[in-house]
Amino acid sequence: MKLENDLLLRAARGQKIERTPVWLMRQAGRILPEYRQIRNALSGFKELVETPQLAAEVTIQPVDILNVDAAIIFSDILVVPESMGLSYEMVEKKGPYFSKTIKTSNDIKNISIPDVHDNLSYVFEAIKITKSELKGKVPLIGFAGAPWTIFAYMIEGQGSKTFSKAKSFLYREPELSHQLLGLITETTIAYLKAQISSGADLVQLFDSWAGILTHQQYEEFGMKYVYKICEAIHEAPVTVFAKGAYSALENMKGLKCETIGLDWNMSISEAKTIFQNQKTLQGNLDPCVLYGDYNLIKQKTKEMLNSFAGHRHIANLGHGVYPDVSPDHVKCFIETVKSN
């Protein structure tokens, strides 16, 4: 089906665009009362993720309510470790929790590369329903966690400020680490390809914990696998968002991907110098700006757009939108980008 608004895809490919496209990481979720209404009627987050019709509905909400230029499929990066044998719970007000984690080589023996078509069919079903209900209005973004970030949850078992168990595992058990990262990479490639064949128009890799590794560790255990995934995905444009990986930007020039996500700490001018318009940059307004009044939001959004001027760009925040931000403030950000 031909897309009515394909700004995001043209911007990703570096083609001509009439204006900068805009969407928000974590736009499908708790900022919208319409989301909370659906979510509160269910047993929890996982039921929503695993019910394709409802996942499709909350995926489309921000397109209708906020008028963003793309939808992102409602799911979570943690469905991948679950499909490999480590199931998780989403604990209310706390976050993810895995009762089993990886500690030894024996634990890795129990990890398998799943048949994603079978194990993660609910995600592909949600993508198909979303594509049909979007009726070509805007592109649909698929996603996965990057191998290092998924590895971090598999070792740590929950969120952490330092991810010190996962990080020290890299030092203590480099071979086992590569073995596990390889299994995650293979699963992720199959998973992203299946998302694309189900209808995802672009896919994004989230390396949310890239920034806690040393430069050397990230090159060896992080970026190496991001390279492999980008090499394998030819079917749709790819975005790589490696939060906090400032020192890896230079090395990301060689990635076979179209777009690089920048967090709010990354220097736009440095990124422009590195990428020389050969890739699209995505980001990077500080999500906290959205707590400000309309004047502040407009001013900071325009400053951000001006800083990216002259370079291929997709407007977004520097990380996910915070759950207690008012939807009207989010709309102000979106409208400011659109009218610039």
Instruction: By CB under 6 A, name the binding residues for ligand CP3.
Output: 25-30, 39, 45, 72, 74, 76-78, 90, 95-96, 143, 159, 206, 208, 320
Is 76 designated active site?
yes
Residue 251 CB contacts under 8 Å (≥ 6 apart), including other chains: 219, 223
**Considering 13, 19, 26, 36, which one is annotated as catalytic?**
26
Nearer to ligand CP3, 26 or 298 (CB): 26
CA distance 85 to 97: 14
The Cβ of residue 17 has, within 10 Å, a number of other Cβ atoms equal to 17
The Cβ of residue 299 has, within 10 Å, a number of other Cβ atoms equal to 14
Helix (H) or strand (E) holding 143: strand 140-145
Q: CB-hemisphere CA count at 13 Å for 127?
A: 26
Q: CB-hemisphere CA count at 13 Å for 20?
A: 29
Nearer to ligand CP3, 311 or 321 (CB): 321
Nearer to ligand CP3, 27 or 284 (CB): 27
Is 26 designated active site?
yes
Nearer to ligand CP3, 127 or 272 (CB): 127
Is 172 designated active site?
no
**Considering 153, 191, 218, 225, which one is annotated as catalytic?**
153
**Considering 13, 19, 36, 39, which one is annotated as catalytic?**
39
**Which residues share a beta bridge with 280?**
259
Instruction: Give the burial class of 161: count Cβ atoms within 10 A of its Cβ; 0-12 exposed, 13-18 middle, 19 or more buried.
Output: exposed
Is 30 designated active site?
yes
What does the radius of gyration of the chain's CA atoms come to, in whole angstroms? Answer: 19
CA distance 106 to 273: 46
- The token duo for 323 is 């759950």
Nearer to ligand CP3, 27 or 83 (CB): 27
User: Which residues does the annotation mark as catalytic?
Assistant: 26, 30, 39, 76, 153
